[in-house]
C-alpha cells in the first residue's frame, strides 16, 4: 500500500528561516573569538565558523551540518569562500521565500525546484562571465597587500609568510608546527619523512646516516632472533648493498649482532625502530608507500626466514638523523600520490565529524610526512594561539590569489542578472571594503553553491515525501 507523509511546509520553512536569521546575525556581529584553548579565531576563517555554528536543536543540526561541510570544501579550494558562502546562503534563502509567496502549493511541488535549478545554472554562467571581465592576475603589490591584511599588518609575520611562499613555490606544501624556540623559523625539507627511534651507535651522534640505492625490509612486529635474518644478511654482505630493517621493535641480541658487524665493516645493515605511540600507528603503511614495497607481518604468522632479498624494494636514498627517517624514491611517486588521495579523503571525512578532531590531526601529520617538497614554519609555542590562525589564513589567501587572480566585486555588472542574484551579490559586496580585491573564484563559488543549497532547502522543504 502506497502512503505518503505530509510535512507541514509552512512550519518547516518558518523554523528553517529562524535558523537562517540567526546564522546571518552571527556572521554579521562576530569578527573575532577566543576558543576554549585560547586560540584566536578571526572573521572569515573556517575555524571560527565551526565554533559559531553549534547546533542546539534538530533544525540547526540538519541545516548547519550541510552548511559546514560545503563551507569547508570551498575554503580548501579558495580561502575565505566558506564565509562568503554562508552569507550568500542566507541571502538566497530569504529571496527564495519572497518568490514563493506568489506561488500555489501545487506549483511549488511540481515546478518550483526544477525551474529554480535551471535558472540558477543560467545565472551562474552569466555571473561568471561578468566576473571574468573585471579580473586580473596577481601582482606583487596586490599579494603584499593580501599578506599584510591577513596577518594584521605584523611585519614579522609578513616576512615569515613571504619566505615560506618563496621556498614552496606553486607546488610545495607549507606546514605550521609549534616549537620550543623563541623565534619563528622557515626551512625547506625534501623527501618523505617519518619519526623513528634509531639505536645508539648506528647514526653519528651529531650527523646523519646516509645511503644511496638501499634495500628496505618492513616488518609489522618485533624481530626477535638473528637466525630469522640469516639469509637476508648473507645476501646483503655478498652484494654490498645497504639494508634498512624497519620494525616495531628488535631483540637486544639482534641489535648487538648488527652493531658489531657494522663496526667491523662486514655488514651495512641498520635497525630502525618506529616510535611507539598513537601517532605512528599507521606510519608503517605510509613508509611502505614511500618505499614502494610490501609489509611482512610477523603478527599474522609470516616468517622472516622466507623473506626474498631480491624482492625487497630499493630506494634511491635514505638518511637517518636522531629522530627522523627520510626516504627519497622517484619510483614510488605514483603510489604515494594514490595514498595521499586516500588520506585526503579520510581527512575530509574526519573534519566533517566535529568529534574526531584529534584523529583528523593525526591524519594531517601522516599527509605531511608524505609531502616530498615541504616548507616547515616553526612557531614559538608562546605565539601559537595568537599567530597560527593568522599564518594559516595568510598562506591560503596567497595560494588562492596566485591560482585564481583578483577581481573587484564592486565592479561586476549585475544588470544581466535576475533580481535574486543581483540582490545577494549586493549584500555580499556590502561586507567587503571599498576597493578591496578578492580571489576571482571565491565569491563565484560562494554564490554558485549557496544558490543550489538554498534552492534545495527552501523549495523542496515541505514537499510530499514517499513513506
Domain boundaries, the chain: 4-136+405-466, 192-334
Question: Which pLDDT score, from 0 to 100, does residue 246 have?
Answer: 93
Q: What percent of the chain has pLDDT over 70?
A: 83
Name the average pLDDT for the chain: 81
The DSSP output letter for 212 is: E
Give mean pLDDT, residues 64-72.
86
How many angstroms separate the CA atoms of 250 and 255, rounded? 7
Decide whether 4-136+405-466 matches 192-334 in CATH topology: no
Q: What is the dihedral of CA 402, 405, 406, 409, to 10 degrees?
A: -130
Question: Which pLDDT score, from 0 to 100, does residue 281 have?
Answer: 64
CA max distance for the chain: 91
Question: Which pLDDT score, from 0 to 100, does residue 225 have?
Answer: 92
Question: Which pLDDT score, from 0 to 100, does residue 161 have?
Answer: 93
Residue 283, pLDDT above cutoff 90: no
Among 131-145, 153-167, 177-191, the range with the most confident prediction by mean pLDDT is 153-167
Question: Which pLDDT score, from 0 to 100, does residue 430 have?
Answer: 85
pLDDT in tens, 197-250: 788 889 887 678 889 999 999 998 889 999 999 999 999 999 999 999 999 889
Give mean pLDDT, residues 152-160.
91
Cβ–Cβ under 8 Å, residues 47 and 389: yes
Question: Which pLDDT score, from 0 to 100, does residue 348 have?
Answer: 77
Q: For residue 215, give the nearest of 286, 316, 328, 297 by alpha carbon.
A: 316
Q: What CATH number should be reported for the domain whose range is 192-334?
A: 3.50.7.10
Question: Which pLDDT score, from 0 to 100, does residue 356 have?
Answer: 44
The DSSP output letter for 112 is: I
Question: Which pLDDT score, from 0 to 100, does residue 358 have?
Answer: 55
Give mean pLDDT, residues 309-317.
94
> Rounded to a whole number, what is the distance in angstroms from the first to the last CA of the chain?
10
> CA angle, 306 as apex, 300 and 310 as ends, to 5°?
120
Residue 293, pLDDT above cutoff 90: yes
In degrees and rounded to multiples of 5, residue 214 shows phi and psi of -100, 145
pLDDT bin (cut points 50, 70, 90) of residue 461 is very low
Residue 166, pLDDT above cutoff 60: yes
pLDDT in tens, 374-426: 788 989 988 888 888 888 888 888 888 888 888 888 889 999 888 889 999 99
Give mean pLDDT, residues 119-131.
86
Cβ–Cβ under 8 Å, residues 131 and 407: yes
Task: Give the residue, 460 or 58, on which the prediction is more confident.
Answer: 58
Question: Which pLDDT score, from 0 to 100, does residue 188 have?
Answer: 81
In this structure, CATH architecture of domain 4-136+405-466: Orthogonal Bundle (1.10)
Residue 119, pLDDT above cutoff 60: yes
Give mean pLDDT, residues 163-167.
89
Amino acid at each position: 500500500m502506497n502512503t505518503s507523509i505530509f510535512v507541514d511546509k509552512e512550519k518547516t520553512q518558518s523554523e528553517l528561516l529562524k535558523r537562517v536569521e540567526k546564522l546571518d546575525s552571527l556572521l554579521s556581529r562576530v569578527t573575532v573569538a577566543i576558543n576554549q584553548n585560547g586560540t584566536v579565531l578571526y572573521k572569515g576563517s573556517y575555524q571560527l565558523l565551526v565554533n559559531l555554528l553549534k547546533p542546539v536543536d534538530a533544525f540547526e543540526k540538519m541545516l548547519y551540518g550541510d552548511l559546514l561541510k560545503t563551507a569547508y570544501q570551498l575554503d580548501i579550494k579558495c580561502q575565505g569562500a566558506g564565509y562568503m558562502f554562508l552569507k550568500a546562503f542566507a541571502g538566497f534563502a530569504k529571496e527564495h521565500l519572497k518568490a514563493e509567496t506568489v506561488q500555489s502549493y501545487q506549483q511549488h511541488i511540481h515546478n518550483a525546484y526544477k525551474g529554480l535549478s535551471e535558472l540558477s545554472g543560467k545565472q551562474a554562467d552569466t555571473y561568471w562571465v561578468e566576473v571574468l571581465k573585471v579580473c586580473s592576475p596577481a601582482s606583487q603589490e596586490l599579494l603584499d597587500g593580501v599578506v599584510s591584511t591577513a596577518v594584521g599588518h605584523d611585519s614579522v609575520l609578513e616576512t615569515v609568510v613571504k619566505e615560506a611562499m618563496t621556498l614552496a613555490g606553486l607546488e610545495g606544501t607549507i606546514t605550521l608546527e609549534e616549537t620550543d624556540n623563541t623565534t619563528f623559523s622557515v626551512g625547506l625539507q625534501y623527501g618523505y619523512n617519518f619519526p623513528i627511534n634509531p639505536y645508539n651507535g648506528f647514526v653519528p651522534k651529531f650527523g646523519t646516516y646516509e645511503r644511496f640505492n638501499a634495500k628496505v625490509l618492513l616488518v609489522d612486529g618485533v624481530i626477535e632472533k638473528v637466525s630469522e635474518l640469516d639469509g637476508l644478511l648473507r645476501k646483503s654482505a655478498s652484494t654490498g648493498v645497504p639494508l634498512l630493517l624497519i620494525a616495531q621493535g628488535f631483540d637486544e641480541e639482534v641489535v648487538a649482532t648488527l652493531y658489531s658487524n657494522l663496526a667491523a665493516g662486514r655488514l651495512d645493515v641498520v635497525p630502525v625502530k618506529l616510535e611507539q605511540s598513537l601517532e605512528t600507528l599507521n606510519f608503517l603503511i605510509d613508509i611502505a608507500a614511500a618505499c614502494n614495497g610490501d609489509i611482512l607481518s610477523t603478527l599474522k604468522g609470516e616468517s622472516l626466514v622466507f623473506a626474498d632479498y631480491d624482492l625487497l624494494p630499493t630506494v634511491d636514498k635514505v638518511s637517518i638523523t636522531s629522530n627522523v627517517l627520510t626516504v627519497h624514491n622517484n619510483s614510488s611517486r605514483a603510489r604515494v600520490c594514490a595514498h595521499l588521495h586516500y588520506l585526503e579523503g579520510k581527512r575530509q571525512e574526519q573534519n566533517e565529524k566535529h568529534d574526531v578532531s584529534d584523529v583528523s590531526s593525526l591524519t594531517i601529520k601522516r599527509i605531511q610526512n608524505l609531502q616530498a617538497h615541504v616548507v616547515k614554519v616553526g612557531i614559538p609555542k608562546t605565539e601559537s594561539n595568537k599567530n597560527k590562525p593568522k599564518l594559516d589564513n595568510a598562506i591560503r589567501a596567497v595560494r588562492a590569489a596566485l591560482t585564481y587572480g583578483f577581481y573587484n566585486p564592486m565592479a561586476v555588472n549585475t544588470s544581466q542578472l535576475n533580481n535574486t542574484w543581483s540582490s545577494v551579490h549586493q549584500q555580499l559586496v556590502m561586507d567587503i571594503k571599498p576597493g578591496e580585491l578578492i580571489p576571482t573564484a571565491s565569491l563565484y563559488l560562494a554564490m554558485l553553491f549557496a544558490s543550489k543549497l538554498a534552492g534545495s532547502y527552501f523549495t523542496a522543504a515541505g514537499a510530499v515525501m514517499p513513506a
